[in-house]
Structure 1
Amino acid sequence: MHIPRWATPAAAVAASGVLLLTGCGKVPPGQQANAGVGPTQAAPDPAQQDPSASPSPTAAAPVLQAASVNRLGKIVTDGDGRTLYRFDKDTARPPASTCLDSCAKTWPPVRATQDAVQVEGVDQRLVGKVKRPDGTWQVTLGGWPLYRYANDDSPGEVKGQGVGGAWFAVAPDGAKAAGGRQAQRQDDGGDDADDGDRDRWAGWTVVKVRQDPQLGRIVTDGDGRVMYRFDKDRARTTTCFGQCRRTWPVVKFTNWKKLKVEGVDRKLIGFIERKDDGSCQLTINGRPMYYYAGDEQPGDTKGQGLQNAWWVVSPQGTKITNAPG
């Protein structure tokens, strides 16, 4: 199975005097070998690390297959014909699941195994996996984590479609099934041209700047999710592991070839390779970037000033300390 690089933990760092390659891609010309990879990063407290959970080799390999439903068009089902869904509160760039605990009981994640995902009518290149906050692995399609719906009693049912205005059957390209896109267009009072532009950057690290009415110019990702920095971190070093990381998910760095930057000096962009899972975390001016799990929608800044240590970020990578009013 071909798993996109952005959906897997980074490979081990290769070093021979000067670092030329990392798990996140080649270092750009003129820059030091990733000012933030390897020995400069503090080792995490083992007691605080996320639990490691390798997929069970005895579990059946997941199956993704295209099927047709009258009112939805093409959707994706599992090997038993059960409809698979995506969740609007998750993200595809970087892939991340926000459905935990009781949510995950209602919407069981499609678990990844060590075996290749079997596909029928689905582009294998769109299939990946993401590590969930509990340490298990979940199958993704187009970057979106996949789920079943516990109330779908039999194959072909789509009772989860539109639940909460956030759950939609997934199409073979990872987008919402046609019925879900139409419902979203009606809710928004417009068309889905912007959705097409967002899908274009699936699998990329996107850094943008938006004007917040209280905080001024702040950094977000391509979906408008606000980024934060942590006072207890040091330059090119993260101190956020375990429960901290679950509350403050990291902003993943894909690789240099899949980096889109608007409003921030590209020279300020970098990454560190984390010690807990080998993934690559975006840095701006050397400071590791995070999301806040309590931000429910793009543009939310509910993490601003929490513990007097977490702050939204300016285009220069500095912290903005004024509280939203």
Structure 2
Amino acid sequence: MEFPRWAIPAAAALTATGLVVTACGQEKAGAQRNAAAGTRQSPAAAATSAAPKPEPEPTTLEVASVTRLGKVVTDGRGMTLYRFDNDTARPPASTCEGACAKAWPPVWAGAAETEVKGVRRSLVGKVKRPDGRWQVTLGGWPLYRFAKDASPGDVKGQGVGGTWYAAAPTGKKALTAAPTEKAPTEKAPTGNKPANDRWKGWTVVRAKRDPRLGLIITDGRGRTLYRYDKDTSRPPNSVCFGACKKAWPPAVFNGWKHLKLEGVSKKAVNFIERKDDGKCQLTINGWPMYFYEKDARPGDTKGQGVGGVWWATTPEGRKVMSATGNGNGY
């Protein structure tokens, strides 16, 4: 992992730890005082109970590179920061309390503005937790550390419970490292491996004229791309999970730097982050794209019209309803 140099004085580390303990202690003491309202206290006790809660130390959000995950967000000490699927970003809300918050300590928002290095400031905010304290958010998602991460660069929290993920600089989940930026080279086919596997790791969308359906879109290997009537395009959303996902594998979006289009406008292309596994799925004009497991060869369109809800797709994202060869979908 690449991260900036820093030194952590032992006293500072103890101070940071003591800060949390002291804050929790004061909250507990406050509750006891409320329960014992009306009883006499010594001047010393009154002064102690009235002491203000210490402000959290300023937080810094930095970007570091992890071999397995690519770019992730860390704090000023290089510790990986995480997000939780059970939280929400719109509106921002934290659902991690009690024992959860002990295992996943929240990143506290101090009075001072959160410093950023490699992170867009417009994505950084804060949210008020159920206990009244403020927590740093990125892209609306509350941020946490993982108690089992012992050293800078650790990512032991990645994928825990299928709900915890390192935060990418955009606030999205850091799932897998992006393919290295390298121009694809032509390779001779080996056995049953097609020559156009040179686009492996890329998202390729091509407009192709099918003799029966007209103009449709395929991937780089000629596999037909489909859309699903039960999904939505505004907002883009997939409802195909479990057995549906097995029969209709989502078309993966591998990033803008690894996108190749032929006969398809870039304005029509985008992606969504799937709710089940967090992977990025290709969308055309907002519609999530899929393959059909029974399409065994390039050019197959066996998924066309299945269940009256699955359709081959035009370059504009419209569904192909007819088999007249004119390519006019809607």
What TM-score bracket applies, with the shorter chain setting the length? Answer: 0.3 to 0.5
Quick one: higher RCO (CA 8 Å, sep 6+), 1 or 2? Answer: 1
TM-score of the two chains, using structure 2 as the length reference: 0.43
TM-score of the two chains, using structure 1 as the length reference: 0.43
Q: If you compute each CA radius of gyration, which structure gives the higher value, 1 or 2?
A: 2
